[in-house]
A and B are shown apart, each in its own frame.
Chain A
């Protein structure tokens, strides 16, 4: 964004420079096999793998492959996606055994010589194909009261905050509620009552906000048997987060805040 002067008259993708002029030339293509976990309760209670083969471009993402299947091969394939640019958090899925956003995973970064497996995220009830019931996830999210609670008089302008105070919880403001973290947590897989990393991250965002007054209440909620103490620091959530949030670190900070408060 900083190089406004050198901006091309047209988006770079529309100008096709041959390789000897510094352009990339033709976009490379390759054949891939997409192995999707299919489930349709109207036909069968069993889920099964289904393979789709197609030719894709080097610039394509897993989401483009799913689109190609849905639009050209099998319209019954169901998955969520909205913005398709890694912001809305709709298309978290388990790709090659790792939770990622389909819209942020380039096919060329995966091993295209083997089938690419795509499954719904784990720990939440599957509704159809790659769509899971997100309600338990959002239930935990609501329980931590993810909104500003301030009992002072409502100011006539914005509530000011120092840059340092803002920095304190900056990392946890990045959450897009895709559930990649919560559904990567082995504790959550076996204990659906656990709040899960995403809810704790969103509690952290307000607990450490200097403008918020309900930090104690949130700490009380998370000081539950199914709260932060369920975390076994497996770091799966930190590795799964498509936004790079240091999730386990945030959970550790909430744990420490609960301990510090009780002393």
Chain B
């Protein structure tokens, strides 16, 4: 059940991000200066951590989505659902660890390095 709860929560998080993302991107049509100002405002460590959380949510949602497809369409999917979930979490960790190292280095070096 918790994989399902996680899938729902990450789904809502991604939806909210997309909503904001469409809004801020469409701002470029209204006024490129306003767009630049808004995008510039994202360049702080809090947004950096938010981006990390967003990527974590998307990666989980993507891999778990593949697991759900396997459960629905692969004959042995329901039998191995638990192993598939461990696979999802392992892939999630494998994807997230290098990403976080690179991403957080950039975020914090920009902030503390006085870019």
Contact = CB atoms under 8 A, between A and B. Distances in A.
Contacts, number: 30
Nearest to A250: B78
Contacts of B79: 246, 249
A255 B78 CA distance: 13
Interface string B64-91: 0000100111000111010000000000
Given A252-B72, A255-B72, A234 B4 contact: yes
A59 B85 CA distance: 36
Interface in B3-22: 3-4
A238 B81 CA distance: 11
Contacts of B23: none
Given A246-B79, A248-B81, A252-B77, A186 B72 contact: no
A249 B76 CA distance: 9
Nearest to A238: B78
B71 A252 contact: yes
A236 B72 contact: no
B1 interface: yes
A119 B63 CA distance: 36
A186 B71 CA distance: 18
B1 A233 contact: no
Nearest to B77: A252
Nearest to B7: A232
A57 interface: no
A52 interface: no
A172 B79 CA distance: 15
Nearest to B85: A235
A223 B72 CA distance: 15
Interface in A182-201: 186
Interface of A: 186, 232-236, 238, 246, 248-249, 252, 255-256
Interface of B: 1, 3-4, 68, 71-73, 77-79, 81
